[in-house]
Amino acid sequence: MTKETEKDIDYDLIRAVQNGDLVAFDRLVDRYKSRLMSVIGRMLSSHEEAEDVVQETFIRVYQHRQSFNFQHCFSTWIYTIALNLARNELRKRKKFKFYDISEMKGNEAEFAVEMKLPSRLPQALNTVIQGLPEKYRAAFILRDIQELPYDEVAKVLGIPLGTVKSRVNRARMMLRDKLKPKLESYNALSKSTLLPVSLL
């Protein structure tokens, strides 16, 4: 199924939703719920908070369905709404706790044990991803995990294309520096990729 076909399906569904078709809205939810949970779950590191944000995203989509601009991709619109809500949640959180990679200090032994278990590798990678500064994390997740085109990532984040590429590359380098020493012995990194995104 081509991207154009996916885009057409989205357009057909949102038009139906604008006309009051709740079955079409349920189909939109089914199409995007898991994708949004993948992005927002990694942004917030809390499954419960991510579920709340995704639910609120769909509420906003329905409330503002008539304002959707068909000159844009629906996926760009819904990702933008979700990430804005996630950023709001992160801003609230910063009032009482600052999250960064330094949280791992003092837990190196536990982290090392976790890294030795292939079945726990995705969890370990997610821990490091969640330690990235928010602006790098968002760009990396959208481009390398959700595999959105660079130009769509730029539209979602509201930043220039060159800035997106710079942030994604910076995120890859930061992750590689944190993960490479622990993963090399398990052949988790190859010469062809900076990060085993497929394991996420």
What integer pLDDT is reported at residue 182 of this predicted model?
58
- Domains of the chain by range and CATH? 1-97 (1.10.1740.10), 100-200 (1.10.10.10)
- For residues 29 and 78, the answer to whether their CB atoms sit within 8 Å is no
What's the pLDDT tens digit per position in 110-159? 333 333 334 445 666 777 888 889 999 999 999 988 889 999 999 999 99
Alpha-helical segments (H) within the chain? 3-18, 22-44, 47-63, 74-94, 108-115, 121-130, 134-140, 150-157, 161-183
Read off the pLDDT of each residue in 18-29 and give the average, rounded to a whole number.
96
What's the pLDDT tens digit per position in 159-184? 999 999 999 999 998 888 887 765 55
pTM over 0.75: no
Read off the pLDDT of each residue in 29-42 and give the average, rounded to a whole number.
94
What's the pLDDT tens digit per position in 65-109? 999 999 999 999 999 999 999 998 888 766 544 434 444 344 433
Compute the distance between CA of residue 70 and CA of residue 74 in angstroms, rounded to an integer. Answer: 8
- For residues 134 and 144, the answer to whether their CB atoms sit within 8 Å is no
